[in-house]
Chains A and B, each alone.
Chain A
């Protein structure tokens, strides 16, 4: 479903990705690990379509389409979801209103009828259980005054409602205590099925105790330097990244 070939990208004239090759099939969970500055966040931003990141070479094919030609909103409507490392606050815009708009954009794109307020609320009620999110957060403005953990939960909650086919989790575990980590991981696991795929970007192995990847890739200096199964994560935990770079 996702085919990345020799992807190169830069930001502010600085080359970050130096030829990434990665193939993600339906239902697969891929973990991308690597030291700080290895290009993990750049990769997620490039895939999501953030314009400050300039693709300088290579290609990305998503369900047969050239992903790089599409603006960010069109990628999202096609089912690509990025759980942000640092979710922004948007004062005055309620979470629910925002999420309903987002869902309906996707539905319109897929030729489905827009969901009305009553159906949407029913859906929200059902999805709230997935991440154990507090009801009061939903009527509050997007992420405003949320704690770090609440922001991350909100990302997973949005993911649950939007049901992406490819979800990219950009260091969703950073700054979470063990309980929040478990909630986030449970959310991901309950959404996972044999059609949707996950790209889990993380710095630490501990998230992978809960979300079990099919593949682990180690990113260093903008390239994948090693690929393995879930046991690679444990090896990295023990040895660090130095032996690979």
Chain B
């Protein structure tokens, strides 16, 4: 083993700092999945009839589907009958203010660095927090509602705005879209809902934190964001989970609708528990995220993925309207035994549509990191343009980086550019920084952060700092 590899091995083994478990009473239904479970979930949430029907249809569809295995991922088969499909903190009475939230729960969020208190007003971030399956608190609801903005848990939206749910649910990701989306559609428990009225510019970042706490529970959130004509919104989600030896399933669906002239930005800092150094435990993250951009609308995905044992995720944009714009900026870091197969889909349907893809993959330890992206230009998409840049950075010599770009063009006026690079952190770069008094660990973190700069620039200011710290933490132990 070379000196460099030894150094590198020593920086990438790091303790997961969000690995604590909150001791809280939960209402968890027994493991297993059948039609009765779907009915039970719907009943527990007092859902209207249309939603139960929707769930059952999805469930029946799912039963006929097979788990997909085309991704560059290796894992033991998932037994869908051993997970519980609903877990909620026991206190289910309606909460009027944060004072009524279980203090243990609030402490959990504090540990995660998410102050739910009104102090958040200063930071200008409205937070919706989803603990296991239920949304516990949404800050700033009043202030937002003055502008007609709806930002609440998905369950609340079902009760209070059923017409909007009925109109948009499944309109971007249909229930039978893929195996995991179908599963989510049948059993989703909660999530966030956002509606920005016509012409409104949402004055603050909207943010949701997802937390899996209970053992052997799957988390299936559903997020739906609708930006009406000429509105703008920026939304951020963050995720963490306790450290557990068994794998936990997370299958979320996110649907974005950006109406004519609207501008919708969705950022993710994903830090689910990645498993230990030997690859034991960790979250299986199978997520379907997609947006539809109407005429002159824009959708921008930015993701920083450092967690999960397995990541299977391709946030995409359907560029339906003329002159619509889609963007995807991604940093995916894998360490130890993590595996990521992630990328995007840009489907150009309208004229003069434009998409940009910037993907930065970083592999360390014994991990595998794949970029998988599709750029499709439909036959009516005159003058469509795409620029893709896919870079891979290797740390050490036991990890893998792979790129699977798919290009499917049906209109000859399209212009596509694709750039790809693969590089290694050079020993000479590390030594250069060492020679200026910077430790090897800080040097690697500095080099990696520099490498990701074009993506971090796209994140909202306060989260860019968080993302940088997260990256440094996730790299700890990869060099030393």
Most buried by A among B438, B439, B452: B438
A76 CB contact (under 8 Å) in B427, B437, B452, B453: B437
* Complex CA–CA separation, A105 to B449 (angstroms): 19
Stretch at the interface among A88-96, A180-188, A230-238: A88-96
Q: How far is the CB of B425 from chain A (nearest CB, A)?
A: 10
Are B435 and A92 interface neighbours, CB within 8 A?
no
Nearest-neighbor residue (CB-CB) of B428 within chain A: A88
Q: Is the CB of B446 within 8 A of A98?
A: yes
In whole Å, how far is A138's beta carbon from the nearest beta carbon of chain B?
A: 15
A side interface size, CB within 8 A: 30
Cβ of A93 and Cβ of B447 under 8 Å apart? yes
Q: How far is the CA of A84 from the CA of B434 in the complex (A)?
A: 13
B93 to chain A, nearest CB (A): 50
A105 near B447 with CB under 8 A, answer no
Binds B, one of A13-21, A49-57, A190-198, A219-227: A49-57
Q: How far is the CA of A91 from the CA of B448 in the complex (A)?
A: 9
A208 close to chain B: CB less than 8 A: no
Known: A73-B437, A101-B442. A88 touches B432 (CB 8 A): yes
The one of B432, B437, B440, B452 in contact with A77, judged by C-beta atoms closer than 8 angstroms, is: B437
Tell me if A48 and B451 are in contact (CB < 8 A): no
B437 is contacted by which of A84, A106, A142 (Cβ under 8 Å)? A106
A98 touches B435 (CB 8 A): no
Return A154 CB to nearest CB of chain B, in Å: 11
With A84-B432, A87-B432 already in contact, the answer to whether A105 and B450 are too (CB < 8 A) is: no
Query: For the complex, is A200 an interface residue (Cβ under 8 Å from B)?
Result: no
Contact B450 A92 (CB under 8 A): yes
CA distance A92 to B455 in the complex (A): 11
Is B440 a contact of A73 with CB atoms below 8 Å? yes
B: interface residue count bin: 20 to 34
Q: B451 touches which one: A73, A88, A92 (CB < 8 A)?
A: A92
Given A87-B432, A93-B446, A109 contacting B451 (CB threshold 8 A): no
| Contact A49:B437 (CB < 8 A) given known A93-B449, A141-B450 | no
Distance in angstroms from B477 CB to nearest chain A CB is 17
A172 touches B (CB below 8 Å): no
Per the bound structure, the CA–CA distance linking A84 and B454 in Å amounts to 28
Q: From A144, which residue of chain B is reached at the shortest CB distance?
A: B450
Bound Cα distance A158, B433 (Å): 12
Judging by beta carbons under 8 Å apart, are A92 and B433 in contact? no
Among A50, A91, A102, A109, which residue has its beta carbon within 8 angstroms of that of B436?
Answer: A102
Per-residue CB proximity of A63-94 to B under 8 Å, as 1/0?
00000000111001100011010011011110
Residue contact A88 to B436, C-beta cutoff 8 Å: no
Chain A residue with Cβ nearest B454: A92
A99 to B440, alpha carbons, bound, how many Å? 16
Which B residues are in CB contact (< 8 Å) with A106?
437
Which B residue sits closest to A71, measured CB to CB? B434
Would you call B438 and A101 a contact (CB within 8 A)? yes
The yes or no answer to A60 lying at the interface (CB within 8 A) is no
B435 touches A91 (CB 8 A): no
Return chain B residues, CB-CB under 8 Å to A9: none
Total A-B pairs in contact (CB under 8 Å)? 73
Which A residues are CB-close (under 8 A) to B452? Answer: 92
In angstroms, how far is the closest chain A Cβ from the Cβ of B441? 10
Type the 1/0 row for A25-64, where 1 means its CB is closer than 8 Å to any CB of B: 0000000000000000000000011111000000000000
* Residues in B neighbouring A71, C-beta threshold 8 A: 434
Asked if residues A72 and B434 are in contact (CB atoms below 8 Å), the reply is yes
B174 within 8 A of A: no
Q: Is A169 part of the contact surface with B, judged by Cβ < 8 Å?
A: no
Contact A50 B431 (CB under 8 A): yes
Question: How far, in whole Å, are A52 and B431 apart by their CA atoms in the complex?
Answer: 10
| Beta-carbon contacts under 8 Å, A96-145 to B | 98-99, 101-102, 105-106, 109, 141-142
Give the chain A neighbours of B439 by CB distance below 8 A.
Answer: 73, 105
Contacts of A52 in B (CB 8 A): 3, 427
In whole angstroms, how far apart are the Cα atoms of A60 and B6 in the complex? 26
B453 near A92 with CB under 8 A, answer yes
A88 → B minimal CB distance (Å): 5
B429 at the interface (CB under 8 A from A): yes
- Asked whether A92 and B437 contact (CB < 8 A) given A51-B3, A52-B427, A87-B432, the answer is no
- Residues on A with C-beta less than 8 A from B426 are 88
Flag if B429 contacts A98 (CB, 8 Å): no
Please measure, in the bound complex, the distance between the C-alpha atom of A196 and the C-alpha atom of B448, giving whole angstroms: 34
Residues of the B chain whose Cβ atoms lie less than 8 Å from the Cβ of A109: 437
> Are A102 and B437 CB-contacts (below 8 A) given A92-B451, A92-B453, A93-B449?
yes
Chain B residues with Cβ below 8 Å from A49 are 434-435
Which of B431, B440, B446 is in CB contact (< 8 Å) with A101? B446
Residue of B437, B440, B453 touching A105 (CB-CB under 8 A): B437
Give the docked Cα–Cα distance between A185 and B440 (Å). Answer: 31
Q: In the complex, what residues of A have CB within 8 A of residue B451's CB?
A: 91-92
Question: Which residues of chain B are near A82, meaning CB under 8 Å?
Answer: 435
Residue of A nearest to B391 (CB): A91
3 shortest A-B CB distances, which residue pairs? A92-B450, A93-B450, A102-B436
List residues of B whose CB falls within 8 A of some A CB: 3, 426-429, 431-440, 442, 446-447, 449-454
Q: A73-B439, A76-B434, A109-B437 are in contact. List 12 more A-B contacts (CB 8 A).
A: A73-B434, A73-B440, A76-B436, A84-B435, A87-B432, A88-B426, A92-B454, A93-B449, A101-B446, A105-B436, A141-B450, A162-B436
Q: List 18 interface pairs A-B (beta carbons < 8 Å), by A numbering.
A: A51-B431, A72-B434, A73-B437, A76-B437, A77-B437, A81-B435, A82-B435, A88-B429, A90-B432, A91-B450, A92-B452, A92-B453, A99-B436, A101-B438, A101-B442, A101-B446, A102-B433, A142-B432
